Structure 1
């Protein structure tokens, strides 16, 4: 299959249909491997391929996939700029971008998160982990490997200051508590266990926080929590 295939297909995911994925990578061998693996999975459909960032943005606008696997280093327009353009387009609010990196500690990982990426994967990710990641992100959860999370926390906390009393005044005390747990990387089920509430209640709190802070997803909440100083390692 060539980059750009099925560019004229019908955009949008059918209710209950497979997770629709766009793969963007300028290395044909790497891109082809991802496409072959994902297309062979039940519940996943690869709707397009792109070999540069500009094409990735154009195809995302045309096809509105559920998930975009985005390489960072690509010609014409790099993956970082492409991710930012997708994240800033209100018509693509439901599209999740997962950045592909060669090394887990890629220097651009943090900037990509600020640009709107929902998660990160190294290119040598195990096939089962890649498939799981696509479903996790499509379901609305953030995807951060433990190594990236540790570096992310260190990066943000190094520059964060203790928040003023008025920080995030739009949130209730419970919502601020939930936000700190999201920043720790806890799932809704884990937040529920920590606060002795159901996962559904935890999800409701997270949804309200996202709405109040006008945040795109849980990953952006992590960024906001650490950059504002709401959370720092060792704080209770």
Structure 2
């Protein structure tokens, strides 16, 4: 069962999402919040698998600030940003804040459901129209930063980085490389420290830059 926390300042939106998601097999909305501070509090209490976080909440803490603080408190939680803005700046800022992905509020229901499943499995998710655009912008921003850091990675860390960027879970990586999940987690932690990165989308962008994977992934 995927436990979901809704954080949105519109009660009608929360009600609609709750009805939609509770009707999906293996999904359950376990809590609702109308602003960021309340969302952080409930997330710590309820320990959901996925937080659906509205980007723009005029009262209380906004979605980006709440996402940043929540990832510091619960690093393993998956946060999916809901936004009306089809704009690179908002997408880039959401990923910098630690979000696992972004979905437009205008997206069809099936896309939202697939996005929730994807981030719950540890993958990144961006709505299709934004993926290439965001990657190109991010690649340009990191063209200098991190280039030399790649030389610090061991061959095994490069293998782990490649598989992470392709969307494999820690367990799947362990099976492919015939190592333990704990060892995979250690390699992941080491390479993120060496590359000075915090999120999976950053690793995907870096892997694209280095030619480890292609845009088709």
When normalised by structure 1's length, the TM-score is 0.73
Give 1:34's match in structure 2, choosing from 4, 14, 17.
17
Instruction: Give the conservation status (yes or no) of the 8 Å contact 1:118–1:143.
Output: yes
Residue 65 of structure 1: CA displacement? 0.5
Mind listing any 5+ residue stretches in structure 1 that lack a counterpart? 1-17, 190-196
Mind listing any 5+ residue stretches in structure 2 that lack a counterpart? none
Distance change >3 Å, CA 40–CA 98, structure 1 → 2? same
CA distance in 1, matches of 2:200, 2:23: 29
Instruction: Give the conservation status (yes or no) of the 8 Å contact 2:7–2:39.
Output: yes
1:201 is matched with 176
Query: How far does the alpha carbon of each residue in 1:142-173 deviate from its partner, in whole angstroms, 9 at most, with x for none?
Result: 11223222122222223333567741344223
Instruction: Give the conservation status (yes or no) of the 8 Å contact 1:157–1:233.
Output: no
When normalised by structure 2's length, the TM-score is 0.78
**Mapping of residues 1-236 of structure 1, within 5 Å:** 18-74=1-57, 75-89=59-73, 92-105=74-87, 107-162=89-144, 166-173=148-155, 175-176=157-158, 179=161, 186-188=166-168, 200-201=175-176, 207=185, 209-212=187-190, 213-214=192-193, 217-222=199-204, 225=206, 230=210
CA distance in 2, matches of 1:51, 1:101: 15
Residue 206 of structure 1: CA displacement? 6.9
Instruction: Give the conservation status (yes or no) of the 8 Å contact 1:140–1:217.
Output: no
Q: Classify the secondary structure of the residue corresponding to 1:108.
A: helix
CA distance in 1, matches of 2:198, 2:140: 24
What is the root-mean-square deviation of aligned Cα atoms in Å? 3.3
Instruction: Give the conservation status (yes or no) of the 8 Å contact 2:3–2:28.
Output: yes
Distance change >3 Å, CA 31–CA 198, structure 1 → 2? closer
CA distance in 2, matches of 1:159, 1:165: 11
CA distance in 2, matches of 1:66, 1:199: 22
Corresponding residue pairs, total = 205
CA distance in 1, matches of 2:213, 2:133: 12
Residue 216 of structure 1: CA displacement? 5.1
